[in-house]
Amino acid sequence: MSSPVFEQAPVSTIAQRLAALRGAMARAGIDAYVVPSSDPHLSEYLPGHWKGREWLSGFTGSVGTFIATANFAGVWTDGRYWTQAETELAGTDIALMKIPGAASQLHVDWLAANLAAGQTVAVDARVLGLAGARLLADALTARNIRLRTDIDLLDEVWSERPGLPADAVFEHLPPYATMARADKLAATRAAMEQHGAGFHFISTLDDIAYLFNLRGADVSFNPVFLAHALIGRADATLFVGEGKVPAEVRARLEADGVHLAPYANAATALSALPDGATLLLDPRRVTAGMRAAVSEGVNVVEAINPTTFAKSKKLDSEAVNVRAAMEQDGAALCEFFSWLEPELENAARAPLDEVAIDTHITASRARRPNFISPSFSTIAGFNANGAIMHYRAAQETCATIEGDGLLLIDSGGQYLGGTTDITRVIPVGTPSEAQKRDYTLVLKGLINLSSTRFPRGTRAPLLDAIARAPIWAAGIDYGHGTGHGVGYFLNVHEGPQTISPAVPPDPHTAMEPGMITSIEPGIYRPGRWGIRIENLVLNQIVDSTEFGEYLGFETLTLCPIDTRPLDRSLLREDEIAWLNAYHATVRARLEPHVNGAARDWLIKRTEAI
C-alpha cells in the first residue's frame, strides 16, 4: 500500500509545526484554522497527502478534528481514541477535546462560542463534507463570524507534504466480481431516473470501486483508488490520475461507455454542466468544494448514492465467495494461534511483544489463497494496551506479553472474495476472576445480538442496546458502537447501516437482506485490560408472518472463541448451546482446510463446554 504511516513526531517538532501554522494564519488574517480528518472523498483512512491533522498534532487516530487559534490548539475525538490521544498529545500544548461520537459537531459549537463577531474561521472546502460545511456556516453566520473555505494553509507550511499516490488500478474480475460493470451502471441509471436526474456525481472511493469493478492501492488497507465519477444517461467519466489505468483496462472501460479524464478535472466538469440539467449527489458523501463547483442553473437533487445501498446488500453469489474467504481466514487464524499459544506457554522462550503478533498473523493470512492485504492495522494489546480501543503497537513502546492477563487481537484480511474483521481475546497465564467476569459479559452481549430476530427495515442503531443489555445489567458500558457495515473486497467500515447509539436512526440505516455487519461488544478498564469479541454476520430473511418479513443473522466469522477465560456460572443454558453450536460449525467448516498443529488446535478449542 502506498499511503505512508508517519512516525510519532517529537514534541519540539509539533511545536514548530504549530508555530508555522500560526504564522501563516496571521499573514492570511485567519483567527481559527480547522483541519478535519478527511480528503476530497471524505475517506476514513487517508492517503498521506491529506494527513494534515496527524502531521500538525501528532495524534494518529483515524477520527478527529484539529483547530488552532493564536492561543489555543485542540483535537476533538471520540471515546475510542481518548486514551490514545492523551498519550500522543502529552506535552504538546494541544488539548484533547472529548466528544460523544464521530458524528459530533461539538467543535462547531466551540468555534461559535469562542470566536468574536468579525473574526475569521478558515477550512479547506476541498476536504470539508457538505453537510458539515452547512452546519458550520449556519453556526458562524449566527454569530457574525466569517467563514473562508478557499485556502489550504497546509501547502504553505508542510514543505515535505507527500504527493498523490501513483499505484495502478486493476479490475475486480469474475468469479469474484459477480455482477458486470454494465449491469451496475444500468442499475445506477435506473435509480437516477427515479430522481429525474440526468447526471450523478460520486466522490466516495468505495462507491466508485464498486460501480466500475475496479480496485487499487491508494489508501492503506482499503483496495480503492483516488477518483471521482460523473455518470450520465448514456456514458460516464472517471476522473483518475493519468497513467494509473492500464491500457487494456482502459479499453474495456471504453467498451462499457466509461471515459477517463484527469483527476484534477472533476470540479471543472461539474461547473460545465448545462443550465437546466438535473444532478443527483449525496450531501453526506461529497465535499463543499465540489458542491460549490455546480452552477446555479443546474437543478440539484440531494439523496443517498444509489451505489451505497447497492453495495451494502451483497448478492447471493457474493455471499458464497465471502463464506469461502471466511474459511480461508479462519484456517489462517488456526495456524496463527497454534503457533502463538505454545510460544506463550514456553517458559524458556524469549518473551513475545505485541508487534510480533501483527507480523505472524499477517504471514499466516498471506499463505492463504486470494489474500491481498490486511484490512486494517492489526490491534494487538496486552492488558492495559487492550483498553486502548484503536491501539497500534510500535516497536519502541509496545508491551511484552508475559505474566498473567488478557491479550486482545483485532485483525482482518482483504481477499478477492471478501473482507474480514475479527477480534478474539486469549488468556496469558492465569486471568483473574474479574477478567473472567468481564469476558463472559462481553460474550453474552455478542450472543444476545447474534441470536436476535427483527423486522426487515429495522433501523440498525436501534439494535445496539440488545448487545449492551447484559453488560448494562452489570453496571458497565463501552464507548464505541456495536457494529459497522463491511464491504465486499472493499472498505472494512462501510455504510449505510451502523449499529451505534451515536448514529441517528435515519431511514437509510434500515437493515436489509444481504448486509454484512460486525457485532463487537466490549469492556475496557483503562490501565488494566480491554476485552472485545467480534464476529461478522449476514442479514438473512428467516421468517415471514402476517406482521411482515423478519431478519436474522448468519454468523460468517469462523474462529473459536476461547473458553478458558469464561465464568461458566454466568452463562444460561441457551447461551451455552449457542456457543457449542457455533464451535461445531467452526470445526466442520475449517477442518478440511487445516492439518497438523493447526488442526489439533482447532479440535481442542472447539470442544463443547
CATH of the domain at 427: 3.90.230.10
Distance between CA atoms of residues 609 and 297, nearest Å:
68
pLDDT digits (tens, 9 = 90+) for 279-333: 999 999 999 999 999 999 999 999 999 999 999 999 999 999 999 999 999 999 9
**Residue 500 belongs to domain spanning:** 313-605
Instruction: Tell me how far CA of residue 494 lies from CA of 54, 204, 353, 419, 573, in angstroms.
Output: 23, 11, 31, 11, 35
Instruction: Tell me what pLDDT residue 2 has.
Output: 37
pLDDT at 246 over 70: yes
36 assigned to some structural domain:
yes
451 assigned to some structural domain:
yes
Of 276, 311, 346, the one marking the end of a domain is: 311
Instruction: Tell me what pLDDT residue 102 has.
Output: 64
| Mean pLDDT along residues 209-226 | 96
275 with 303, same domain? yes
pLDDT digits (tens, 9 = 90+) for 154-181: 999 999 999 999 999 999 999 999 999 9
162 assigned to some structural domain:
no
164 assigned to some structural domain:
no
Of 311, 340, 358, the one marking the end of a domain is: 311
When divided into structural domains, the chain yields a total of 3
Here the cell at position 209 is: 470501486
Residue 65: give its domain's CATH number: 3.40.350.10
278 with 337, same domain? no
pLDDT digits (tens, 9 = 90+) for 64-119: 999 999 999 999 998 888 888 998 999 999 999 998 876 678 899 999 999 999 99
Of 102, 125, 157, the one marking the end of a domain is: 157
433 with 531, same domain? yes
Reduce the secondary structure of 77-92 to three states and give it as a string.
Answer: EEHHHHHHHHHHHCCC
147 with 181, same domain? no
231 with 363, same domain? no
Do the beta carbons of residue 540 and residue 486 sit within 8 Å?
Answer: no
Instruction: Tell me what pLDDT residue 1 has.
Output: 32
Average model confidence (pLDDT) across the chain: 94
1 assigned to some structural domain:
no
79 with 129, same domain? yes
163 assigned to some structural domain:
no
Distance between CA atoms of residues 447 and 338, nearest Å:
25
165 assigned to some structural domain:
no
pLDDT digits (tens, 9 = 90+) for 1-56: 334 444 567 888 999 999 999 999 999 999 999 999 999 999 988 999 999 999 99
112 with 182, same domain? no
Output 103 or 522, whichever has higher pLDDT.
522
132 with 205, same domain? no
233 with 364, same domain? no
210 with 199, same domain? yes
228 assigned to some structural domain:
yes
Name the pLDDT band for 367 (thresholds 50, 70, 90).
very high
44 with 125, same domain? yes
266 with 323, same domain? no
Here the cell at position 427 is: 488468556
Residue with cell string 483503562:
526
